[in-house]
Amino acid sequence: MVSQEVQLRSTIAGFTAEGRLHTLSVWFILALRLMMGVAFLQSGASKVLAGDFNAAGYLQNAPPANGSPVADLFVAMGNTPALVEFANIAVPWGEVLIGLGLIVGGLTRLAAFWGAVLMLMFYLGNWDISHGYINGDFAYMLVFLSVAAFGAGRILGLDAYIEQYEVDGQPLIERYPWMAYILG
Protein backbone atom coordinates (compact mmCIF):
# COMPACT_ATOMS: atom_id res chain seq x y z
CA MET A 1 0.00 0.00 0.00
CA VAL A 2 1.29 3.43 -0.90
CA SER A 3 0.52 5.98 1.76
CA GLN A 4 -0.10 9.56 0.92
CA GLU A 5 -0.48 12.58 3.13
CA VAL A 6 -3.22 15.16 2.90
CA GLN A 7 -2.29 18.77 3.56
CA LEU A 8 -4.56 20.77 5.86
CA ARG A 9 -4.56 24.52 6.27
CA SER A 10 -6.99 26.82 8.04
CA THR A 11 -6.89 30.48 8.99
CA ILE A 12 -9.14 31.92 11.67
CA ALA A 13 -8.85 35.47 13.00
CA GLY A 14 -5.44 35.89 11.39
CA PHE A 15 -3.98 32.69 12.85
CA THR A 16 -3.07 29.88 10.48
CA ALA A 17 -2.75 26.24 11.44
CA GLU A 18 -1.23 23.71 9.09
CA GLY A 19 -0.80 20.00 9.27
CA ARG A 20 -0.76 16.76 7.36
CA LEU A 21 -3.05 13.80 7.69
CA HIS A 22 -1.81 10.35 6.83
CA THR A 23 -4.22 8.38 4.66
CA LEU A 24 -4.65 5.90 7.51
CA SER A 25 -6.29 8.75 9.45
CA VAL A 26 -9.54 7.98 7.64
CA TRP A 27 -9.86 4.75 9.67
CA PHE A 28 -9.44 6.61 12.95
CA ILE A 29 -12.02 9.21 11.93
CA LEU A 30 -14.41 6.36 11.07
CA ALA A 31 -13.62 4.70 14.43
CA LEU A 32 -14.44 7.92 16.31
CA ARG A 33 -17.75 8.24 14.45
CA LEU A 34 -18.72 4.63 15.13
CA MET A 35 -17.56 4.73 18.75
CA MET A 36 -19.70 7.77 19.53
CA GLY A 37 -22.60 6.34 17.54
CA VAL A 38 -22.60 3.07 19.46
CA ALA A 39 -22.17 4.86 22.81
CA PHE A 40 -25.09 7.21 22.17
CA LEU A 41 -27.35 4.54 20.66
CA GLN A 42 -26.69 2.29 23.65
CA SER A 43 -27.27 5.09 26.17
CA GLY A 44 -30.46 6.30 24.50
CA ALA A 45 -31.86 2.82 23.88
CA SER A 46 -31.41 1.86 27.54
CA LYS A 47 -33.37 4.97 28.59
CA VAL A 48 -36.12 4.40 26.01
CA LEU A 49 -36.49 0.70 26.83
CA ALA A 50 -36.56 1.32 30.58
CA GLY A 51 -39.47 3.68 29.98
CA ASP A 52 -38.97 5.57 33.22
CA PHE A 53 -36.49 8.30 32.27
CA ASN A 54 -37.21 11.50 34.17
CA ALA A 55 -34.84 14.46 33.91
CA ALA A 56 -36.40 16.48 36.76
CA GLY A 57 -34.38 14.96 39.59
CA TYR A 58 -31.10 15.38 37.76
CA LEU A 59 -31.85 18.94 36.67
CA GLN A 60 -32.92 20.02 40.14
CA ASN A 61 -30.23 18.27 42.17
CA ALA A 62 -27.06 17.26 40.32
CA PRO A 63 -25.81 20.64 39.06
CA PRO A 64 -26.17 22.39 42.45
CA ALA A 65 -24.53 19.43 44.22
CA ASN A 66 -21.65 19.55 41.72
CA GLY A 67 -21.18 23.30 42.09
CA SER A 68 -22.01 23.97 38.45
CA PRO A 69 -21.63 27.64 37.51
CA VAL A 70 -25.02 27.40 35.76
CA ALA A 71 -26.80 25.41 38.48
CA ASP A 72 -29.60 27.99 38.74
CA LEU A 73 -30.40 27.50 35.03
CA PHE A 74 -30.62 23.72 35.45
CA VAL A 75 -32.80 24.07 38.57
CA ALA A 76 -35.11 26.48 36.71
CA MET A 77 -35.39 23.98 33.85
CA GLY A 78 -36.10 21.19 36.36
CA ASN A 79 -38.87 23.25 37.93
CA THR A 80 -40.54 24.00 34.59
CA PRO A 81 -42.87 21.10 33.72
CA ALA A 82 -42.85 21.80 29.96
CA LEU A 83 -39.04 21.77 29.84
CA VAL A 84 -38.88 18.59 31.91
CA GLU A 85 -41.34 16.87 29.57
CA PHE A 86 -39.31 18.08 26.59
CA ALA A 87 -36.07 16.76 28.17
CA ASN A 88 -37.77 13.45 29.00
CA ILE A 89 -38.32 12.92 25.27
CA ALA A 90 -35.40 14.84 23.76
CA VAL A 91 -32.60 13.25 25.78
CA PRO A 92 -33.30 9.53 25.26
CA TRP A 93 -34.65 9.83 21.72
CA GLY A 94 -32.00 12.42 20.84
CA GLU A 95 -29.32 9.99 21.94
CA VAL A 96 -30.90 7.20 19.87
CA LEU A 97 -31.15 9.38 16.75
CA ILE A 98 -27.65 10.81 17.17
CA GLY A 99 -26.31 7.28 17.60
CA LEU A 100 -28.11 5.96 14.54
CA GLY A 101 -27.04 8.94 12.43
CA LEU A 102 -23.42 8.41 13.33
CA ILE A 103 -23.49 4.64 12.88
CA VAL A 104 -24.95 4.83 9.37
CA GLY A 105 -23.14 8.06 8.53
CA GLY A 106 -26.35 9.88 7.63
CA LEU A 107 -26.90 13.56 8.48
CA THR A 108 -23.62 13.19 10.32
CA ARG A 109 -22.81 16.85 10.89
CA LEU A 110 -26.31 17.47 12.23
CA ALA A 111 -26.04 14.45 14.54
CA ALA A 112 -22.56 15.45 15.70
CA PHE A 113 -23.67 19.04 16.35
CA TRP A 114 -26.53 17.89 18.61
CA GLY A 115 -24.23 15.34 20.24
CA ALA A 116 -21.82 18.19 21.05
CA VAL A 117 -24.71 20.28 22.43
CA LEU A 118 -25.79 17.41 24.69
CA MET A 119 -22.22 16.85 25.85
CA LEU A 120 -21.87 20.56 26.65
CA MET A 121 -25.03 20.34 28.76
CA PHE A 122 -23.73 17.19 30.48
CA TYR A 123 -20.37 18.90 31.05
CA LEU A 124 -22.06 21.86 32.72
CA GLY A 125 -24.50 19.65 34.64
CA ASN A 126 -21.90 17.12 35.81
CA TRP A 127 -19.50 19.90 36.77
CA ASP A 128 -16.49 18.52 38.61
CA ILE A 129 -13.24 20.38 38.28
CA SER A 130 -11.40 18.67 41.12
CA HIS A 131 -9.06 17.14 38.51
CA GLY A 132 -9.12 20.11 36.13
CA TYR A 133 -11.57 21.53 33.64
CA ILE A 134 -11.19 18.71 31.12
CA ASN A 135 -13.25 15.60 31.79
CA GLY A 136 -14.92 12.86 29.73
CA ASP A 137 -17.95 14.98 28.85
CA PHE A 138 -15.70 17.76 27.53
CA ALA A 139 -13.56 15.25 25.60
CA TYR A 140 -16.63 13.65 24.03
CA MET A 141 -17.86 17.11 23.00
CA LEU A 142 -14.56 17.61 21.15
CA VAL A 143 -14.87 14.17 19.53
CA PHE A 144 -18.32 15.12 18.22
CA LEU A 145 -16.95 18.39 16.85
CA SER A 146 -14.06 16.50 15.21
CA VAL A 147 -16.46 14.04 13.59
CA ALA A 148 -18.38 17.00 12.15
CA ALA A 149 -15.25 18.88 11.05
CA PHE A 150 -13.78 15.87 9.26
CA GLY A 151 -17.00 15.11 7.37
CA ALA A 152 -16.94 11.61 8.83
CA GLY A 153 -20.25 10.66 7.22
CA ARG A 154 -18.52 10.51 3.86
CA ILE A 155 -16.31 7.67 5.12
CA LEU A 156 -18.27 4.47 4.49
CA GLY A 157 -21.43 6.39 5.34
CA LEU A 158 -24.70 7.35 3.72
CA ASP A 159 -23.76 11.03 3.46
CA ALA A 160 -21.38 10.22 0.58
CA TYR A 161 -24.37 8.91 -1.37
CA ILE A 162 -26.88 11.51 -0.20
CA GLU A 163 -24.61 14.35 -1.28
CA GLN A 164 -24.36 12.93 -4.80
CA TYR A 165 -28.09 12.19 -5.17
CA GLU A 166 -29.20 14.06 -8.28
CA VAL A 167 -31.94 16.66 -8.19
CA ASP A 168 -32.81 17.94 -11.66
CA GLY A 169 -29.52 16.55 -12.98
CA GLN A 170 -27.38 18.20 -10.31
CA PRO A 171 -25.83 16.61 -7.17
CA LEU A 172 -27.86 17.50 -4.07
CA ILE A 173 -24.91 19.18 -2.34
CA GLU A 174 -24.31 21.43 -5.36
CA ARG A 175 -27.97 22.31 -5.76
CA TYR A 176 -28.41 23.02 -2.05
CA PRO A 177 -24.99 24.07 -0.68
CA TRP A 178 -26.45 24.78 2.76
CA MET A 179 -26.82 21.01 3.19
CA ALA A 180 -23.06 20.86 3.74
CA TYR A 181 -23.89 21.96 7.31
CA ILE A 182 -25.92 18.82 8.03
CA LEU A 183 -24.33 16.23 5.73
CA GLY A 184 -20.77 15.04 5.70
Q: How many percent of the chain have pLDDT more than 70? A: 98
Choose among 116, 107, 101: nearest CA to 34.
101
- The answer as to whether 117 is a domain residue is yes
- Report how many domains make up the chain: 1
- Residue-wise pLDDT tens digits, 160-173: 999 999 999 999 99
- The answer as to whether 162 is a domain residue is no
Q: What one-character-per-residue DSSP string does 59-99 give?
A: HHHHHHHHT-TTHHHHHHHHT-HHHHHHHHHHHHHHHHHHH
What range does the domain containing 57 cover?
28-152
- The answer as to whether 58 is a domain residue is yes
Q: How confident is the model at residue 4 (pLDDT cuts 50, 70, 90)?
A: low
pLDDT reported for residue 1: 52
Query: Full-prediction pTM beyond 0.85?
Result: yes
- Residue-wise pLDDT tens digits, 5-23: 778 898 999 999 999 888 8
